Chains A and B, each alone.
Chain A
């Protein structure tokens, strides 16, 4: 009958059209080449490394560029990249001895001049996000073609940590000047083990092993960063064999992925912490332009402390999925010594005190019995590093428990970072992810910053912070830190909740993967399983 024939013909037609159309698309997998695909959660900004402070972009730039030195993968000290060795020759001077015969992937020579050009660039360009963290450098002096001195303004205990921080990437000066920054961001060239061979904006970034690397050609031929914003899509892609590593496994999927043949689950700290960021000013700062007449309840120190005491951090850590509760802004990867000294679980548990929170609110003049607690806005992203929406909902419930009226505002993540975090448009409280670099943390609470952004200034606290960054002796520094943290918790300008773990899953049938202690997803040392 006609219809049957019609059906058959159209089915055949559909198959033909589908196959022709599909065969036009390049097949990505080739047998001889080992290819490692990472499911990258976030957007990727420019490849001109110093411009961005966006952590996850540096996961990529680290494949492409060398720094002078770099944090060791196991968290113990530093390893040389462009520098073969380095030494502290006096209080202020650090000398770097470069490897011989280094070149960039385009043939340009990487010498002391190139190093000086790069450090001078990041410490003089105010438009770079990393500009403030490079102000510890007073001068860079070329001794000879392979030797370069970096001179600091004061004795600087965090020198190695900071010289290998974002912005340390060495770019080819001649090439960059020749093509201009805009073009460079699209076709960057470095001296690292991988070349960027192909990318589709915010979608797929393909790196290929470079034979000319000083350390030899890396074991894995191609490393691909495939942008997959959805956690669930990441899991599905891993199960389907489309990617080899996913950075966060949602809570209910953990058991299943761990039990799947050929896949392994690993947990390692991310060195990222969730914080509540409170607003403590009304006069100046970015948020003032958006909410000029708003009088935040968080201006009152008692209210801020009440918030801090009202939060059950271990419960919030549980809601997040995998995290360690903390009072201090201190991560596991911490150059100041063992994390245990800063994260006594008993102290964290003791801090949670709803009764104290209530009495602090009453002291601040709120009639809780009449239900007239302070009203606060809590802004949070739906999803950034995992569980933000859920944590915000539970935190809001905890605050309401002690008498706050919470206006919870959960926004799309991209809009949130655009409008709230980078804009600083915080009404009362925002849930945000912060790092914990010890050299930087004091600077966030210094008057220069807090005066401009919050119109507050605690000179004594400031002085301690200032001293910390200049005290080379570890014991003396630790004593200063203790005082500093007192201010930190009692001033409650930012409230630390917990340190987030990366719960990762990867293709262990094909690859040997050990997570880095600093929480970075960068794959210079990846091994193929034999």
Chain B
């Protein structure tokens, strides 16, 4: 864990803003420079940015309308062409363009991945801070809940809950967000425990700073990097969970365009139309791979002590 080491207790009292202000672009510059030195990190970053661009630009760059069906061109193999153009990755059971549907499907993955990780992250960090900082009963209760939740394999828990509460994009995001916080809470709590007893925290106490302020100003900045590292990893896990749920018919509505549902459709025709299952899976793999690479790189950069660990 990297801990910003304040030189003296005197500095602590006037911590925020007392450091010399760097130009705004400096952190960005440093970030990009660091990224440039790591091929893996750079690959991950490019993949993530690429997928996000796909999600945003979708309609503008997709060769066909992802919903446009063409019954004369059902189950056409990759490279098929007719009057309406080329179907690079083939067509599905209604003659819709697989490539366009993969592009359109990126939106759900990106939204679900980012939003539910954000929800999970915020809840997890807050609970982790509270548990670690206050200890005692609060800590015990939160940690026992995480024990319980962690002992049910994540995907099974999510499947069961969505079976009870039903499907839908918003529901899915909430389910993934509200069950995913556990890992953050665990890790953040551990980090807080390490930081809490350090000199400058004790000093902050000594000069009479209020506890919420101490948490926000001194503890949070020291533990947040763990949260960020975790979040990057969790994005991949969440996207996998979303596609699994959609594949099982428990995720989003059955007519939404998502990679998981494309796989579920393709599975019906797997004996002849291999392209219907192959390409959406590749899309998921590449996206998750991007998140994994980027997460690994972030860990290396933000957390020198954990370098090399998985």
Contact = CB atoms under 8 A, between A and B. Distances in A.
A258 to B, nearest CB: 12
Interface in B254-310: 254-255, 265, 267-273
Nearest to B277: A232
B269 A393 contact: no
A142 B255 CA distance: 58
B272 A411 contact: no
A389 interface: yes
B69 interface: yes
A393 B75 CA distance: 17
Interface in B52-97: 69, 71, 74-75, 93-94
B273 to A, nearest CB: 5
A232 B267 contact: yes
A414 to B, nearest CB: 9
A250 B271 contact: yes
B190 interface: no
B255 A251 contact: no
A251 B94 CA distance: 11
A448 interface: no
B272 A252 contact: yes
A236 B255 contact: no
B147 interface: no
A114 interface: no
B253 interface: yes
A251 B271 contact: no
B69 A251 contact: no
A397 B69 contact: yes
A380 B263 CA distance: 19
Contact of A382 (B71, B93, B94, B254): B254
Interface in A403-420: 408-412
A256 B272 contact: yes
Interface residues of A, number: 26
A315 B271 contact: no
Contacts of A390: 93-94
Interface centre among B69, B71, B255, B271 (most CB of A within 10 A): B271
Given A251-B74, A394-B69, A232 B271 contact: yes
B66 to A, nearest CB: 13
B253 A409 contact: yes
Given A390-B93, A410-B255, A411-B254, A382 B249 contact: yes
B255 A252 contact: no
Given A382-B249, A410-B255, A393 B94 contact: yes
B272 A253 contact: yes
Given A235-B271, A250-B271, A394-B94, A318 B69 contact: no
A393 B69 contact: yes
B277 to A, nearest CB: 9
Interface of A: 230-232, 235-236, 239, 250-253, 256, 315, 318-319, 382-383, 389-390, 393-394, 397, 408-412
Given A232-B268, A251-B75, 4 more contacts: A251-B269, A389-B254, A390-B93, A408-B255
26 contacts: A230-B268, A232-B267, A232-B269, A232-B271, A235-B271, A236-B271, A239-B271, A250-B268, A250-B269, A251-B74, A251-B75, A252-B271, A253-B271, A256-B271, A315-B71, A319-B71, A382-B249, A382-B254, A383-B268, A389-B265, A393-B69, A394-B69, A408-B255, A409-B253, A411-B254, A412-B254
